[in-house]
């Protein structure tokens, strides 16, 4: 029996498995460095994907004003063009704007030109809305990356790719109590780094998505996290890359 086909098949399967892990896993840096922690266990970065959403984002902004919270919003370019006033308001209230591509594309399947177009069109939409510099940070939709993404991010003049340490699984409609229970794991004592938490203020499929459960869960947790001594930071103010926690410039 010839063992080489078996060895080659096993090797191909192993390579495919490593590639899949590198493309999807939040902890992977196979395709370039990422940010997934804050610099201190007492600091949380609340991050929001798929907005701006006129049905939910203004409610979050009011809630954050009440609790002196600063957050990071990764915006979809096509929605930013429809809601430029809301984009300006997010920025004016002291929150950080990030790039979540123009159409919420799965970048794993994109070549360099496609990645460039998705990033550039979102950059333009946000910069046009605010009249300021475009975002410095990108979060790839679904967290999917490929080996070409890091180079395109750098060529676009952005600082880097932001992943996460906690995923709230809040993108489906659900009772607020369910999300409240799930967020109980955030900001627990221990470790030298803090959580970057992924939440959603929008629905990438259409404007106006119902994310009321997210607002309700944060209404519950924000004062409790504050009472526990937690500081809320943006990615820009407290970004730490990778599993070793090397501070990014």
Judge whether 37 counts as a catalytic residue. Answer: no
| φ and ψ of 99, to 5 deg | -100, 125
Catalytically annotated residue among 37, 104, 200, 204:
200
* Catalytic site residue from 49, 50, 170, 195: 49
The secondary structure of the chain as a DSSP string is ---HHHHHHHHHHHHHHHHHHHHH-TT--TTS-EEEEESSTTEEEEEEEEE--TTTHHHHHHHHHHTT---EEEE-HHHHHH-HHHHHHHHHTTPEEEE--SS---GGG--HHHHHHHHHHHHHHHHHHHSSPPPSEE--GGG---TTHHHHHHHTT--EEE--SEE---SS---HHHHHHHGGGTT-S-SSSEEEEEEESSBTTBTT---HHHHHHHHHHHHHHHHTT-EE--TTTS-EETTTTEEP-
Contact 196, 241 (CB under 8 A): no
> Within 13 Å and on the Cβ side, how many CA atoms surround 146?
14
Q: Count Cβ atoms below 10 Å from residue 108 Cβ, excluding itself.
A: 19
Answer yes or no: 200 catalytic: yes
What torsion do the CA atoms of 105, 24, 87, 38 make, to the nearest 10 degrees?
-170
Which residues are part of the catalytic machinery?
49, 200
């Amino acid at each position: 029996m010839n063992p080489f086909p078996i060895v080659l098949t096993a090797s191909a399967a192993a390579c495919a498995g490593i590639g899949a892990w590198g493309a999807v896993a939040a902890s992977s840096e196979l395709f370039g460095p990422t940010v997934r922690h804050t610099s201190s266990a007492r600091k949380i970065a609340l991050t929001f994907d798929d907005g701006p959403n006129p049905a939910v984002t203004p409610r979050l902004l009011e809630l954050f004003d009440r609790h002196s919270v600063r957050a990071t919003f990764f915006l979809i370019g096509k929605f930013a063009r429809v809601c430029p006033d809301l984009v300006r308001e997010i920025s004016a209230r002291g929150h950080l704007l990030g790039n979540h591509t123009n159409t919420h594309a799965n970048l794993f399947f994109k070549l360099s030109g496609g990645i460039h177009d998705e990033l550039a069109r979102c950059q333009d939409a946000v910069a046009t809305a605010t009249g300021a510099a475009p975002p410095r940070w990108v979060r790839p939709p679904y967290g999917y990356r490929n080996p070409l993404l890091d180079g395109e991010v750098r060529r676009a003049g952005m600082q880097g790719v932001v992943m996460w340490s906690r995923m709230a699984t809040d993108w489906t409609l659900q009772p607020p109590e369910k999300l409240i229970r799930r967020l109980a794991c955030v900001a627990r004592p221990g470790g030298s780094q803090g959580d970057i938490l992924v939440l959603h203020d929008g629905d990438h499929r259409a404007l106006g998505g119902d994310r009321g459960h997210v607002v309700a869960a944060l209404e519950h947790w924000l004062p409790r996290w504050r009472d526990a001594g937690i500081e809320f930071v943006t990615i820009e103010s407290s970004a730490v890359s990778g599993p070793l926690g090397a501070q990014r410039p």
